[in-house]
Amino acid sequence: MLADATLDISSYVTYYNGAHQAWEPTRIPLRTEGGLIIRNHSGEVASSMSFGNNDIIMDGGLPKTFVVPGNWTFANNATFGATPLKDQLFDIQFLDVTPFPIVSDELYYMYLFSLFWPDYSSNPTQADLDNATLSFTFSIIYADGSQDVGSPYTILLRTTLINRFQHMGIRNEDGLPTDRMSLGVYGENDIVADGWIYKQYVVSGNWTMLLLLLGLATAINYSRSEQLKLISSEAETPRSVIPGRNNATYGAIPKPDQLFAIQFLETMPYPINSNDLFFVYLSGCFLPGRVHNLTDDDLAKATVTCTFSIVYKNGTHERFEPWTTELATTVFDRWWHLSLRNSEGDQTKHLTLGDNDLIRDWIIYREYSVARNWTMEFDARISDGRCLFDVSMTHWIDGDYHRRPDAEVDWASKALRPRGR
């Protein structure tokens, strides 16, 4: 019975010297009491879980005496700010920051998923949302313990292009990009930001970024981190390696035969975690000497073919049926998007002659995946067969450790393809 369900909570920490420590799981009743709240499909507080949709909210924290310095396993290091949680109109479901911690001079992503409960009496009106603002406040604690707090910076809470590598986007409950937040049917909104902190202007220290919107105050703390080191050998084929955090190489088509000159490819987080949002950011350009007779009409008709393969524990290899889609800005489903941007950072429907960025966010579903080394190849072409780019990425993907039975012929499609809106 759901009324008798329990919840096991496990904690562990990685210390600065690399040592690990884990604590015995704590078992508590899975019902509304103490700092645990359960809501039913209507958003109403319930005593225990019920069949259908449920939300579980844990509002609490560890006493300071029990906090051990180290990297705790969540992907934001964020806390609610000075505004009490009960006074915040936007109910945060999750906040992902990747890579975590943030690294200066590298792209990072923030993905905030929240909602306005339909029956919440204090909900804002659409007119309120049309005029909403977002305030940023940055502060730093230096090595000597002193602190500086910057002046707040306020902008309209709308889809905003700041520059080529700094954007803020808003998506509605269907995953479609919108200009501003909306109430919709379920009140769900996503705020997605990609940015770049320039190391040449930054002082090392623990920084806190405070975001204030619609009564929501979220403090994100991050400290300087060493970049993930990609080890490569000059004795190998350096031309086949694509710059960036990616474990990516050029595919079957040689680099000189690809029309799109790749500048870097970032995978965040790296390595990829199943059941977690991740982002692939591919930046490059069409060099004038390489694109003879290439037109905007050719690019408007371009397609990309995605092929996935796996090497099983026993060494056998399986390659799955490729699938092809239009190479265009597309919403595949709520959590799968492909966005194209031009040299100014503006979103475009198709690739354009000159500089382009391709941004893909998606999820690999663990419940359908098999844990092994996966290779994902993306081969983009125009209608006459010429290759725009051919990229191959190999990652360990977590999942079931047993090979799927032959009866489950579509398990790979469920794990790796969008489910549709």
| pLDDT, tens only, 236-294 | 344 488 998 888 999 999 998 999 999 999 998 888 888 888 899 999 999 887 888 89
Residue 139: burial class (beta carbons within 10 Å; 0-12, 13-18, 19+): middle
Give the chain's count of helices (H) and strands (E): 3, 31
- Compute how many other C-beta atoms are within 10 angstroms of the C-beta atom of residue 214: 19
Q: Is the pLDDT of residue 74 over 50?
A: no
What value does the mean pLDDT of the chain take? 78
DSSP 8-class letter at 73: S
Contacts of 26 (CB under 8 A, 6+ apart): 8, 9, 10
User: What single letter denotes the amino acid at residue 189?
Assistant: N
Predicted pLDDT at 216: 44
Q: Is the pLDDT of residue 60 over 60?
A: no
- Give dist(CA 175, CA 337) in Å, integer: 8
Model confidence, pTM: 0.65
Q: Is the pLDDT of residue 11 over 80?
A: no
For the chain, domains (ranges, CATH) are: 1-71 (no CATH), 74-227 (2.70.220.10), 238-416 (2.60.40.770)
User: What single letter denotes the amino acid at residue 307?
Assistant: T
**Contact indicator for 242, 234 with CB cutoff of 8 Å:** no
Average pLDDT over residues 51-76: 50
DSSP of 352-368: -SSEEEEEEEE---GGG
Length of the chain: 421
Predicted pLDDT at 54: 78
**Contact indicator for 109, 98 with CB cutoff of 8 Å:** yes
Average pLDDT over residues 3-18: 67
Buried b (16+ CB within 10 A) or exposed e, 55-89: bebeeeeeeeeeeeeeeeeebbbbeebeeeeeebb
